[in-house]
């Protein structure tokens, strides 16, 4: 099967809030938080970590939930405010000044209390993708997560839907401030070709439940990837990582992890 061609760019981010931090390529070291051995030898970990882009909050802000009501504040504010739907500070005026006249009054909210304990957060960007490409918006891969909230994942068909890039949080801890910083990624955005999550793909998997039914080719592959390297006392550490990196560069891979 031929590879799906990758458009350039696959995804475009439109900065709707001036001066908010731009998305960056996700980092294989997860901003230096991965253990050095994992970073050096675990290519699966590195690949997952670097897939896509980090997006950041447009401002430092905090949320607090008492189990019924959500409060919020932000850098430079002098109080906590009840949250229903809140604009980014000063944004409504800016939006109405720069958009076509017919769009005035339709600035997207920065924060929205969707249901009790659920908050939708706008990153300050609109998102658009190439034809037949979508974006998966998810928590940053392999970055240690806060125990104060959970984050939902969602797939947006952003070639057909152009609008604000949001993420949704479920607040867990109550009666404590939950802080969000422009220095820490809020979400990771990953490109997905629509064919990869089509129903027939997800429904078209196979299970061989008994090792006695494994085909000979499967055992041959197991021998190649697991057994032979472990019988070689001089095998290099991280051979799988080396093979993957060489293959990405168009070189001949070294077999075996």
The per-residue pLDDT for range 9-38, each reduced to its tens digit, is: 999 999 999 989 999 999 999 999 988 888
- Is the model's pLDDT at 151 over the cut of 90? yes
Which of 10, 47, 8, 24 shows the shortest CA–CA distance to 123?
24
Dihedral sign, CA of 246, 252, 254, 255? positive
Q: Supply φ then ψ for residue 166, to 5 degrees.
A: -110, 165
| Of 140-149, 167-176, 243-252, the least confident | 243-252
Q: Which CATH class is domain 11-201?
A: mainly beta
Q: What is the pLDDT of residue 6?
A: 65
Q: Which residues of 25-36 are buried (b: 16+ CB within 10 A; e: fewer)?
A: ebbbbbeeebee
Task: Rank 38-42, 169-173, 222-226 by mean pLDDT and report only the highest.
Answer: 169-173
Q: pLDDT > 70: what percent of the chain?
A: 89
pLDDT tens-digit profile of 91-115? 999 999 999 999 999 999 999 999 9
- Name the pLDDT band for 152 (thresholds 50, 70, 90): very high
Residues 141, 166 contacting (CB under 8 angstroms): no
pLDDT average, residue stretch 133-137: 98
Asked whether residue 254 carries a pLDDT value surpassing 60, the answer given is: no
Cα–Cα distance, 227 to 217 (Å, whole number): 14
Answer whether 0.75 is exceeded by the pTM. yes
pLDDT-derived band of residue 234, with 50, 70 and 90 as boundaries?
Answer: confident
Domains of the chain, by residue range, sit at 11-201, 206-248
């Amino acid at each position: 099967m031929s590879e799906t061609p990758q458009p350039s760019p696959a995804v475009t981010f439109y900065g709707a809030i001036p001066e908010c931090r731009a998305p960056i390529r996700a980092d294989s070291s997860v901003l230096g938080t991965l253990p050095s051995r994992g970073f050096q030898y675990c290519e699966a970990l590195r690949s997952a970590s670097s897939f896509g882009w980090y997006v950041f909050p447009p401002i430092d802000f905090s949320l607090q939930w008492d189990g019924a009501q959500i409060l919020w504040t932000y850098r430079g504010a002098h109080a906590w405010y009840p949250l229903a739907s809140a604009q980014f500070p000063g944004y409504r005026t800016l939006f109405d000044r720069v958009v076509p006249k017919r769009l005035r009054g339709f600035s997207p909210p920065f924060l929205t209390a969707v249901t009790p304990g659920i908050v939708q957060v706008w990153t300050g960007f609109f998102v658009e993708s190439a034809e037949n490409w979508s974006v998966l918006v998810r928590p940053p891969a392999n970055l240690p997560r806060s125990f104060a909230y959970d984050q939902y994942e969602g797939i947006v068909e952003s070639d057909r839907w152009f609008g604000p890039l949001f993420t949704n949080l479920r607040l867990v801890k109550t009666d404590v401030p939950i802080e969000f910083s422009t220095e820490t990624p809020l979400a990771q955005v990953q490109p997905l070709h629509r064919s990869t999550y089509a129903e027939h793909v997800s429904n078209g998997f196979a299970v061989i439940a008994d090792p006695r039914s494994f085909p000979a080719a499967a055992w041959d592959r197991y021998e190649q990837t697991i057994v032979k390297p472990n019988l070689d006392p001089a095998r290099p550490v991280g051979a799988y990582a080396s093979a993957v990196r060489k293959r990405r560069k168009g070189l001949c891979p070294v077999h075996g992890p």
